[in-house]
Amino acid sequence: MMRSASIRLIRSLTLRPRGARLSLRAEGNLRSRKLTSAAAPAPWRAVFRRHLTLLLAIKLAALALLWALFFSPAHRTAVDAQAAGRHLAVAQQESPHD
């Protein structure tokens, strides 16, 4: 009798469907039951979703700050051909077609 109860317990623990959880009845037997609310996520998923959203918001704020500090239009200089030539120390040559 004891052996068959332990075998049933092992089978119920290993062969239970995904989304099922165990509960104790008044007799002390274990049984498997489905979750009743499919809309309610598991508590760890809500915490994970909140944590992931917070990290993505922090990352977006850091990227916006980096853009504002280093890549915004206020930090760009106007570059023309003569200024680029002076910077590269290239003398402007006369073209044979002029």
Note the pLDDT tens digit of each residue in 18-76. 555 555 555 455 554 555 556 666 889 999 999 999 999 999 999 999 999 999 988 88
Per-residue CA distances from 81 to 8, 85, 92 (Å): 84, 6, 9
Helix (H, G, I), strand (E, B) or coil at 15: coil
> Please, which residues bridge with residue 20 across strands?
34
Report angle CA 6, 8, 14 to the nearest 5 degrees.
Answer: 105
For the whole model, what pTM was predicted? 0.41
